[in-house]
Amino acid sequence: MNATVERFLLYLRNERNLSWRTVDLYRRDLDQWVSYATAGGHPLDVASVTSGDLRAWLIERSSHGDCPGTLRHKVQALRALYRYLLRRGEVTSNPAAQVELAKLPKPLPRFVREQTVNTVLDADIDMQDFTQVRDRLIVMLLYETGIRLSELIGLQDAAVDVTKRELKVRGKRDKDRIVPFGDELVQWIETYRALRATVGAECGNLLITLKGKPLYPSLVYHVVHDSLAQAGGNGKLSPHVLRHTFASVMLNHGAELNSVKELLGHENLAATQVYTHVTLSELQHNYELAHPRALKKGGYYGY
């Protein structure tokens, strides 16, 4: 172990009070770097290391199969080491600061299939039971309007107009937008409002608890998760997944990208464009399931 690196690790543990596990992660990355820098018996001179030296090491690590996340962690470990050395006056610059962090691939938004949501929305419930009707309306609103969890919880009763078939949503940075909805939601909202009158609302929110209070995030999460799980959904089943599902369903059925952007309340089109990848992925999946030529192993004609 290089003496400079060892002092840095002791600093992390004793002065920064980082856990042993975290310190060991730094140790692993810095040990690899020291081994590379001292290959051939050359002593390590931390003050003479350049950003080019560090990039060469990262290229080698990449060739050994290190993923972008691992490479990012190595650069961050080196940056932290050189910040420590700069404060102590042992170096005059931080070569790792000039090395760009590897870009991480952005995961596609998670969604559930239309059939799963349809199973939830088509299931029979007791239409005289306030909780059952409210919970169905929660899922329906999230799926059919694409609003966020926070927007659903804060949705005011006066902001839901069943005559115009639109609701006024207060989104991020208190920006309002109008979201339309269809006849089915009109019927469910009217049924729910009639039952809510028997409960007694203590606030102006559309959706309330049995005690007349506003909904809270964990209640909505459990309603969505349990409803989708019972319908055969798996993986992450959250309110936000229904928002993703709304966007992918709209695009799959021919909606224009800019229209979906406005419905979701995105600031720019780039935030919405990620859903085009979801729809392409879904189209590819459906093609592989349905097209007879796609089912042949090894490509066309089975070659």
C-alpha of 107 from chain center: 8
3-state secondary structure of 205: strand
Active site residue 7: no
Active-site residue identified among 83, 113, 148, 170: 148
Active site residue 73: no
Active site residue 243: yes
Active-site residue identified among 26, 82, 192, 275: 275
* CA nearest neighbour of 84 among 30, 19, 24: 30
| Dist. CA 170–CA 155, nearest whole Å | 8
Active site residue 275: yes
Active-site residue identified among 16, 87, 172, 285: 172
Between helix 239-252 and helix 217-230 the angle, nearest 10°, is: 60
Active site residue 64: no
| Dist. CA 57–CA 260, nearest whole Å | 44
- Where helices occur in the chain by DSSP H, the ranges are 3-14, 20-37, 51-63, 68-87, 114-122, 130-145, 149-154, 183-199, 217-230, 239-252, 257-264, 269-290
| Dist. CA 240–CA 233, nearest whole Å | 14
Active site residue 28: no
* CA nearest neighbour of 206 among 240, 197, 164: 197
Give the active site residues.
148, 172, 240, 243, 266, 275
